[in-house]
Amino acid sequence: MKMTSLLVVCATFVLASCASEPSCEGPQSRNLSTAVDQAKSSLANGCTAYFDSYYDTLLRTAEGDPKPENKRVFSEFLVWAADEGLLSQRQAKEYYNRYFNVKFMTLVSDYNNCSHTCPRRDRVLLDMERELSDKERGLLKVSLDNDGYYRADELFKEVELVLEATCTACAAGR
Amino acid sequence: MEPCTRLRAVRGALFMFAMTAFGFASADTTTPTIRLFPTTVVEDLRQTSSVAQEMETGLQEVIGRLDQQQQLYLESKCDGAEDDPGCQRLAKQIGATYLDMLGIMEERLPDMEHTVNNTRLSLEKRLRSELGNKMTSWTLQETLLGGNPPKTASDSSPSLRGRSGMRLSERFKQYYKLVASSSSNSDQSLAVLASDIYLDMEETSTLIARTREEIARATLIEQLNQSFGTITPEMMEVVGGVKSILFGDETSNVVIAGPPPGSVEQAYRSPLEQ
């Protein structure tokens, strides 16, 4: 008798916990605005761990209907996420600028080039290359900002050239 | 003082005055945030161009003569008929011209090496201090972007990097012109230009040092060959190399592909943008 009661209590507990767990399916719509609303709803219901995956899904959705206004939609979504405390201001800026700005977030640094950037130049350039492919997605495929992407690509080449010269000069001065 | 020397001195003083005045003028209109091209670097570039031109002029005649002699050698079907006395005489003449070329190079290269190294070292110092020690990677990026509106594929300037298929003197002349008109250039393009010139100087400097090492060896070998009257493949290779360095290689023009064309209606600025 005692055993049966215990089983019933356990089953009730398991069922109750299943019912309270949020559905983290994420955005399903092919319409960006609707998809953003769905992502917001899931995130507000406790699915914060899926933020990266939702952001990726939103980018994919936007790629299906690319237009310059999409930049604003992503910006507003990230501002909302920061206001809700899901992201810090810094993280929100990182998410936005990595995809929608010409400037490379990889290059954020507080120390001078000779002492900090040059010793890890290969790593920096590799990270920039990865960021450039995110910019291709954000600027070119999502926002149709061809000029922005072209400038980012050109900036990457310029940084590569200038760092090569600067780091050679730094090394010669040691 | 001789009239010629005096004229040169006056011209030099005028040049220095013009460059100094130019420096003050540009400082008045736009406050430079980075100083990559002081007058010393500009003067070094001008001098490198004129030294390169002197060397080219000296070598042009001898290389032309070598080409003619080689043509005659081939037309006379001397290839494979080395024992023929006429062919032996032709081979000796080619060898002697080759020695002349090596002699001119041996005489002019130290000057060339000196001016190239001067420019390289002054640029090196500037790059280290202005871009290496005074900037972070973020400020460097902002300098390169320069707050200018994004350029389109059509109005971007071609890259200067490396031996771009032009005469050595022409290359330095072009560098000099670009640097001397730097009041119209932003810090953004100056940083790229300084890096480009510095890396080119590095490469040229290494090439000159290697060529100088080779000249003594090549001269000795050719002096030995003179007694046998043969044309070595190495000889033709050296001549080819010198021609390519001095007078450019037409096939080495590299064009960077642009992105697909398109335009943006209006630029949206996010509050998150940095």
- CA atoms within 13 A of residue B163's CA, in its CB half-sphere: 19
Q: What percent of chain B stands above pLDDT 90? A: 12
| Highest mean predicted confidence (pLDDT) among A21-35, A115-129, B59-73, B249-263 | A115-129
Q: Concatenated DSSP letters for A57-123?
A: HHHHHHHTS--TTHHHHHHHHHHHHHHTTSS-HHHHHHHHHHHH-SS-GGG--SSBIIIIIGGGHHH
Alpha helices in chain B (DSSP H): 3-29, 39-75, 85-126, 137-145, 168-180, 187-228, 233-247
Partner-chain residue, chosen from B136, B194, B264, that has the shortest CB–CB distance to A113: B136
Q: Which residues of A touch B258 (CB under 8 A)?
A: 150
Q: What is the pLDDT of residue B66?
A: 87
Which percentage of chain A shows pLDDT scores above 90? 84
Enumerate the β-bridge partners of residue B136. Answer: A112
Give the residue from chain A lying closest to B272, CA to CA. A93
Q: Are A49 and A22 in contact (CB under 8 A)?
A: no
Q: How far apart are CA A139 and CA A148, in angstroms?
A: 7
* DSSP β-bridge partners for residue A112: B136
CA distance A132 to A140: 11
Indicate whether A118 pLDDT > 90.
Answer: yes
Q: Is pLDDT larger for residue B176 or for residue A130?
A: A130
What local confidence, expressed as pLDDT, does residue B214 receive?
82
Q: From the CB of residue B72, how many other CB atoms can be counted at a distance below 10 Å?
A: 13
Mapping DSSP to helix (H, G, I), strand (E, B) and coil, where does residue B24 land? Answer: helix
The whole-number pLDDT of residue B264 equals 42
Over residues B23-69, the pLDDT tens digits come to 333 333 333 457 888 888 888 888 888 888 888 888 888 888 988 98
Rounded to two decimals, the pTM is 0.71
Q: Is a pLDDT exceeding 80 seen at residue A143?
A: yes
- pLDDT confidence of B164, banded at 50, 70, 90? low
ipTM of the complex: 0.84
Cα B10 off chain centre by: 28
Q: What is the pLDDT of residue B38?
A: 83
The per-residue pLDDT for A21 is 62
Residue B17 pLDDT > 50 = no
What are B202-220's pLDDT values in tens digits?
A: 988 888 888 888 887 788 7
pLDDT tens digit string along A51-64?
999 999 999 999 99
Write out residues 127-156 of A within 8 Å (CB-CB) of B. 140, 143-151, 153-155
In chain A, pLDDT over 70 holds for what percent of residues? 87
Nearest CA in chain B to A139: B264
CA-based nearest residue in chain B for residue A96: B272
Asked if B147 is an interface residue toward chain A (Cβ–Cβ < 8 A), one would say no
Band the pLDDT of A39: cuts 50, 70, 90.
very high
Contact B133 A79 (CB under 8 A): no
Q: Measure the CA–CA gap between B146 and B188, rounded to whole angstroms.
A: 5
Structure tokens belonging to residue B173: 């002349």
Q: Min CA distance, A88 vs chain B (Å)?
A: 12
pLDDT band with cut points at 50, 70 and 90 for residue B109: confident
Chain B residues within 8 A of A165 when measuring between CB atoms: 127, 131, 194-196, 198-199
Q: Is the pLDDT of residue A136 over 60?
A: yes
**Whether residue B13 has pLDDT greater than 50:** no
Distance from C-alpha of B169 to C-alpha of B56, rounded to nearest angstrom: 8
Q: Quote the CA–CA distance of B63 and B69 in Å, as a whole number.
A: 10
* Structure-block tokens of residue A96: 């936005």
